Amino acid sequence: MTTMPVNDIRVVLADDERMVRTALCAILSAEPGIDVVGEAATGAEAVSVVRELRPDVVLMDVRMPEVDGIRATERILRSVPGPPRVVVVTTFENDAYVYEALRAGAAGFLLKRAEADELVQAVRLVARSDSLLFPAAVRALATRHGSAAAEPPAWVARLTGRESEVLRLMAAGLTNAEIAGRMDVGPATVKTHVAAVLAKTGARDRTQAVIAAYEADFLRTS
């Protein structure tokens, strides 16, 4: 048995269409450092496969039989220790289901018509957890489907000035290195600020923090 390089990104594909899974597998398997370790045809099967194989990234179709991609994402993030990053794969860019999946904890989304290089880039990006996947699209989804709170949540007032700046730059899609350059601080300082933002917003990752910021009306006028 061939030993897999320790730095390979382990990916599970969840889609009820075999042809879609085959195409995604062909694209990703051709890339160095990415290994497709499993597939699932339903949301329930996706949860089971992820629990067994413990991948780094899951490409999750939104609409699947038995259990849809939103519920499957919730179950994975709730029940799998050190859960993988979930990227929703969908046909419709402005689908309300996609927004619900992001709110449930998906790290981002991809359109099924995305180019091969966009797919590969997305997998590598979410595996690094260092930036927001397609920030303009997330903003559009939040604007279309999100509902702003009547009153700003308490966490808004608890953010320091630096943390507020970091959250705005996160929403713009900047990486930690880019934020460090923009703020003229070290990467370690940025990581500390990002961790504080996640803790104060109660978010699992950057995507959830940015969505929380839009729903708090924190970013709508930025």
Q: Is residue 3 part of a domain?
A: no
Residue 218, burial from CB neighbour count under 10 angstroms (0-12, 13-18, 19+): buried
Q: Could you tell me if 77 and 106 lie in one domain?
A: yes
109 and 54 in a single domain? The answer is yes
Query: Which amino acid, 136?
Result: A
The CATH number for 189's domain is 1.10.10.10
* pLDDT tens readout for residues 53-70: 999 999 999 888 888 999
Asked whether residue 48 falls in the same domain as residue 96, the answer is yes
Verify that 118 and 48 share a domain, yes or no.
yes
pLDDT at 150 over 90: no
Within a domain: 139: no
Q: 37 and 89: one domain?
A: yes
Q: Domain containing 92: what range?
A: 9-129
What CATH code is carried by the domain that includes residue 62?
A: 3.40.50.2300
pLDDT digits (tens, 9 = 90+) for 18-45: 999 999 999 999 999 999 999 999 999 9
pLDDT in tens, 122-140: 999 999 888 888 888 888 8
Q: How far apart are CA 51 and CA 71, in angstroms?
A: 15
| Percentage of the chain lying above the pLDDT 70 cut | 94
pLDDT band at 201 (very low <50, low <70, confident <90, very high): very high
Domains in the chain: how many in total?
2
State residue 94's pLDDT score. Answer: 64
Query: Domain boundary at 129, 158, 184, which?
Result: 129
Dihedral through CA 93, CA 99, CA 104, CA 105, nearest 10? 50
Task: Give yes or no: residues 47 and 122 share one domain.
Answer: yes
